[in-house]
Structures are given as C-alpha cells and as structure tokens.
Amino acid sequence: MKTLKVIKIGGNIIDDDVALQQFLQAFATIQGPKILVHGGGKLATKLAKKMQVEVKMVDGRRVTDADTLAIITMVYAGKINKNIVAQLQANNCNAIGFSGADGNTIVSNKRPVKTINYGFVGDVKKVNTETLEILLNNNITPVFCAITHDKKGQLLNTNADTVASEIAISFASVYNSELYYCFEKNGVLKDVNNDDSVIENINSKSYPLLIENGIIYEGMLPKLNNCFYAINNKVQKVCIGTSDMLFNANNKHTTITK
Amino acid sequence: MKTLKVIKIGGNIIDDDVALQQFLQAFATIQGPKILVHGGGKLATKLAKKMQVEVKMVDGRRVTDADTLAIITMVYAGKINKNIVAQLQANNCNAIGFSGADGNTIVSNKRPVKTINYGFVGDVKKVNTETLEILLNNNITPVFCAITHDKKGQLLNTNADTVASEIAISFASVYNSELYYCFEKNGVLKDVNNDDSVIENINSKSYPLLIENGIIYEGMLPKLNNCFYAINNKVQKVCIGTSDMLFNANNKHTTITK
C-alpha cells in the first residue's frame, strides 16, 4: 500500500506570511499522495471586528451564527485557501482547494441544540473518498479548509483537527494513512515552559496518567483525543510537533501509539 | 463528440437568493458535461464599503489593488462559490468549486501597465483542460469564479465573460463546446426598452452594422466581442439571453454565428 500523508497546519503558520511561504515550499517537495488541511488563524476574528460582527461565546466556545459563517466562508475557503493553492502551484505542486461541499467530500450533521446552540457548526458524518482518490492518483493535492456541508445546501463550520483526523481515517483502508498535526510547539511537553521537554511517545496507557498529573490539559485534550480517535481507527501513524518534523527526521516530536 | 455546455451567470441571478436557488435547481438537471462560471454581483462592492476599502476607478473601470483583490477572493471564491457548490450538491449535482489557481486550470498574465495601472487584473494566457476533463468524465461539474493566477503565486481578478469564453474555446477540440451567457435580458435587443425585440441571430456581417446603427453599445460590446472570439475559435454554439433559454426550447434569445 502507498502512504498518504494528511497534514494539518494552524495559526502559527497561516498568520505569518513568511512562515507560510516557507512551509508551502517545503510541503511541495513531499513525494507521494498528500492532503493539506488548514485552520483559520486570526484573520476571521480580525475581519469580524472590521465588519462589526460580534463574536459570540458560550461557555468559552465560539458560536457560529449566519454572519460568522459568512465571514468564515470568505476567509477560510476564499482568502486563505486560494492563496495557499496559488502558492503551491508556484512551487509546482498541483493543488486544488476544497471545502467539504466540493465533490461532496465531507458531509456533516449540524450539531444538535442541547443546552447550547452552537449555530452552524458541523460534526462530521462521512468523508467520501472517491473523488479525492481520483485526484490523488493523478498527482493532485487536495487542500482542505475546515468547512463542511450537510448535503442539504447548508455550509457548516467544523474543527480543522477533526477534519484532518476524519480524512486520515477514511483513507486508512486505501493507503497507509499518516496524520500530522503541526503547531507551534515541538510536541506534547512535560513542562509547558521547556520546549525541549518533548514527550516522544504517548499511548493509551500513558495518556490517562498524563491527564491525571495535569501535564495534558485544556486545548491539548481535544487535539489528543483526535489523535487517539485516528490511531484507534486504522490510521498507521499519528504525530504532533512543529512542521519541521515533516522535513527533518531528527526533529523531536510526539508520536501517538495505541 | 459529446457536447459540453459552458454557462455563465451574472448579478441578476447571483444577487437574488430565490433566483439563484431556482437557477441551480434547474442547472442540476442539465444532462451531460457542464461547467458553470459565475460573476461577482454586488456583494463585493457592499463588502468593500463595509470594510471602508475605497473603490478606485480609472476611466470608468475598477482598479484591483491588494485590498480589493482580497475582498474579491473572499466574496467570489469564498462566499458565492461555496454557496453555489453546496446548493448544487443539495440538488445531487456533484460540483467542485474552482478558481484558475485550483488545478492550475487558468493561467493569466497580469495586465501590463501602459497608461492605466489596473492592478491585480489578469488576461487569460492558457486554460489547462486535463484535470477538468478527468472530472467531467467522472460526472463532476466544475464551478468557476472569475479569479485566475499567474503560476507565480499571485491571484488575479479576471472578467467572468472572458473566463467563460476561454474555457469554452479550450474545450472545443475535445467536445462540441457550447457557450451560454445568461443575463437579465432575453438577448440582444433592437429596442432596449422592448424586451420582446430580441435579435435572434447576429453574425459577423450584421454585427458591424448593429454597432454603426447604435443598437449595440457600451456594456454589450465586450460581451459580443467575447461571443465572436468564441465562435471564431471553434466553439460550436454561442447564445445570449435569460437562463430560461437553457431550459425552454421556445424561449427567445440571441444566437451568435460566424
């Protein structure tokens, strides 16, 4: 089986023009089938402010009302996605930008209203790999923003980490599927203030202990839950670290294993 | 040879939610390979005002500076394109949104500065049909916004009528290529105040006379130049009218012939 790399990048790369350019240059050199997933960075919040669209938070989580969804669609699927695609093309990587609506690739359910109404937020129901496989077989690189749809005409805001893990899982029967979460740190750190204190391996035995000891908390929890979800659903390799882990074999990072 | 329909829609459909929904429902039923090209409508101008980005005009033409390009990319490639794709998917038409950067499908040259600097405006150099053919052969419908790229990382604002004609021309060796310009009128009118006065056929002999007699003028000139450019470059059929011409054989419209 061929290897497919699913690589997710976040704000530390997207919000920095130089970092993004350097990353895309390096990304373009990765051989074999690959899919890039990008988050939104700070641009959507900036645009919302400029347009005087109020950021609504419930229990510390952003609510996606119709205005916010419009902004997210413009920024994620428009500005960020197309600029990434254009830069990859400049580096001779034949990219095509995708939302989950394009090619009906990612179908979500609008999150049901229980105590909190998150608005136009989607939980992934199904990734349709058929069209993507055709493209990958033709040496084309899909670039996903974190917007999905409900197949009834509604776009939905979806967590980019989740989009990446769901894509990696859906391809695990076709490829040796590998999932890389790139962020600003070298990996999961023992000591959040020491960037060298990378925990090189986390497995399902050590994970609960790391939570218990307060080493993994807050924002790292959903990220690691996505990792374990992927590794427990046939994804062959799951890593967290800076994007350097993709290009330098000696670069320290965290690998998640069963 | 199979027939490919290249259909361009403009502001009268895009700016009207109900009209757009009805059009996309009908468009989804068109059998055989098809490509949709959409203009931008009034949304970009509205957003520019909201963001206090000045609309710069030189000799009656809009100049695309960096801020304007960002807005156009957000509105055309983001909001409009993704909403069209999501609605087509809801109607079981397997659409994928494209800018010219995606799949390196449309490469443009930045318009050289002579007396006027139009900014980030692209004149189409080449349409690469290979990826699009793969998609069309798999019953996928490309949906193009009017943004192209220079293959060096720069997105470029490009006239949507031109994008449509260039796509139709580039496919003329592979398909019976047909080009349909949908707009708010039933076609080219003898009397601009009488919507029934449709000129049903314009050819290269009658065209100069219609210009001479002041029947074709202003905005209709570049549209008709695009039509003749297409028909003189192996496009089999070129029509102008309301989108009804696509769905009702008896609907009056203008056909352009050699």
Mean pLDDT of chain B, nearest integer:
95
CA distance A11 to A43: 9
* Residue indicated by tokens 């990319």: B73
Closest chain B residue to A147, measured at CA: B82
CB atoms within 10 A of CB A239: 18
Strand order, beta sheet including B106-110: B122-127, B106-110, B147-149, B155-157
Domain of residue B149 covers 3-256
pLDDT the model gives residue A55: 81
ipTM of the complex in this document: 0.96
- Name the band, by pLDDT with cuts 50, 70 and 90, for residue B145: very high
CA distance A97 to A87: 12
Handedness of CA B131, B132, B136, B138 (dihedral sign): positive
Exposure letters A172-203 (e unless 16+ CB within 10 A, then b): beebbbbbbbbbebbbbbeeeeeeeebbeebe
- Read off φ and ψ for residue B142, nearest 5 degrees: -70, 140
CA dist B163 and B24 (Å) reads 20
Residues in chain B whose beta carbon is closer than 8 A to a beta carbon of chain A?
47, 50-51, 70, 73-79, 81-83, 85-87, 89-90, 94-99, 101-104, 131, 134-135, 138, 140, 147, 149, 151-155
Number of domains in chain B: 1
Instruction: Give chain A positions within 8 Å (CB) of B135.
Output: 131, 134
In tens, the pLDDT along B232-242 reads 999 999 999 99
Q: How far is A97 from chain B (nearest CA, A)?
A: 6
Tokens describing residue B61: 């033409």
Q: Under a CB-based contact definition with an 8 Å cutoff, are residues B171 and B234 in contact?
A: no
- Tokens read off for B244: 């009804």
> Looking at the partner chain, which of A79, A94, A103 has a beta carbon nearest the beta carbon of B140?
A103
Q: Return the HEC string of chain B.
A: CCEEEEEEECHHHHCCHHHHHHHHHHHHCCCCCEEEEECCCCHHHHHHHHCCCCCCEECCEECECHHHHHHHHHHHHHHHHHHHHHHHHHCCCCEEEECCCHHHCEEEEECCCCCCCCECEEEEEEECCHHHHHHHHCCCEEEEECEEECCCCCEEECCHHHHHHHHHHHCCCCCEEEEEEECCCCCCECCCCCCCCECCEECCCHHHHHHHCCCCCCCHHHHHHHHHHHHCCCCCEEEEECCHHHHCCCCCCEEECC
pLDDT number for residue B33: 98
**Interface test mutation site (partner B, options A38, A80, A85, A133, max chain B beta carbons within 10 A):** A85
Spatial separation of the C-alpha atoms in residues B179 and B230, rounded to whole Å: 8
Strands B57-58 and B34-38: unpaired
| Residue B177 φ then ψ, to 5° | -90, 125
pLDDT tier for residue B55 given thresholds of 50, 70 and 90: confident
Residue pairs spanning A and B at CB distance below 8 A: 130
Could you tell me whether strands A176-182 and A155-157 are parallel, antiparallel, or unpaired per DSSP bridges? unpaired
Amino acid in the structure at residue A98: F
Structure confidence by residue, pLDDT tens digits, B160-180: 999 999 999 999 999 999 999
* Distance between B101 CA and the closest CA of chain A, angstroms: 5
pLDDT of amino acid A37: 98
Residue A54's pLDDT is what?
87
Residue B248 structure tokens: 């009702």
| CB-based contact A102 B85, cutoff 8 Å | yes
| Residue from B36, B134, B23 nearest B81 by CA | B36
Chain B residues near residue A85 by CB distance under 8 angstroms = 99, 101-102
Mutation test of the interface with chain B: which of A46, A53, A74, choosing the one with the most B Cβ atoms within 10 A?
A: A74
Sheet strand arrangement including A122-127: A122-127, A106-110, A147-149, A155-157
Specify whether the CB–CB gap between B129 and B170 falls below 8 A: yes
Please report how many Cα atoms fall inside a 13 Å half-sphere around the Cα of residue A53, on the Cβ side: 20
CA distance A107 to chain B (A): 10
Q: Find the DSSP H helices in chain A.
A: 11-14, 17-28, 43-50, 66-72, 81-90, 130-137, 160-170, 206-212, 220-231, 244-247
Give residue A148's pLDDT: 98
**CB nearest to B101's CB, from A85, A147, A151:** A85
Other beta carbons within 10 Å of A78: 29
**Chain A contact residues (CB < 8 Å to B):** 47, 50-51, 70, 73-79, 81-83, 85-87, 89-90, 94-99, 101-104, 131, 134-135, 138, 140, 147, 149, 151-155
Residue B198's nearest CA partner among B208, B212, B183 is: B183
Q: Hey, are the CB atoms on B79 and A76 less than 8 Å from each other?
A: no
Give B134's contacts in chain A (Cβ within 8 Å): 134-135, 138
State the virtual CA torsion across B120, B124, B126, B129 in degrees, nearest 10.
Answer: 100
- B156 → chain A, closest CA residue: A86
Q: What is the pLDDT of residue B57?
A: 78
Mean pLDDT in residue range B127-139: 98
Residue A30 CB: number of other CB atoms within 10 A? 15
Q: What is the band of B218 on the pLDDT scale with cuts at 50, 70, 90?
A: confident
CB nearest B51 (choices: A51, A90, A134): A51
How far is it, in rounded angstroms, from Cα A79 to Cα B77? 8
* DSSP one-letter code for A78: I
Q: Which residues of A touch B126 (CB under 8 A)?
A: none
Instruction: Please list, in sequence order, all residues whose beta carbon lies within 8 angstroms of the beta carbon of residue B164, skipping any fewer than 6 positions away.
Output: B6, B7, B8, B37, B144, B179, B181, B226
Q: Cβ of A90 and B152 within 8 Å?
A: yes
> What does the pLDDT average to over B216-228?
92
The structure tokens listed for A49 are 């402010």
Which residue among B73, B99, B153 places its CB closest to the CB of A90? B153
pLDDT at A62: 78
Report the CATH number at residue B149: 3.40.1160.10
Of A76, A94, A151, the CB nearest to B103: A94
Per-residue pLDDT of chain A (258 residues; tens, 9 = 90+): 999 999 999 999 999 999 999 999 999 999 999 999 998 878 998 999 888 888 887 776 779 999 999 999 999 999 999 999 999 999 999 999 999 999 999 999 999 998 889 999 999 999 999 999 999 999 999 999 999 999 999 999 999 999 999 999 999 999 999 999 999 999 999 998 999 999 999 999 999 999 999 999 888 999 999 999 999 999 999 999 999 999 998 999 999 999
Helix (H, G, I), strand (E, B) or coil at A14: helix
| The pLDDT of residue B149 is above 90 | yes
Beta bridge partners of A180: A7, A239
pLDDT, residue A57, reads 78
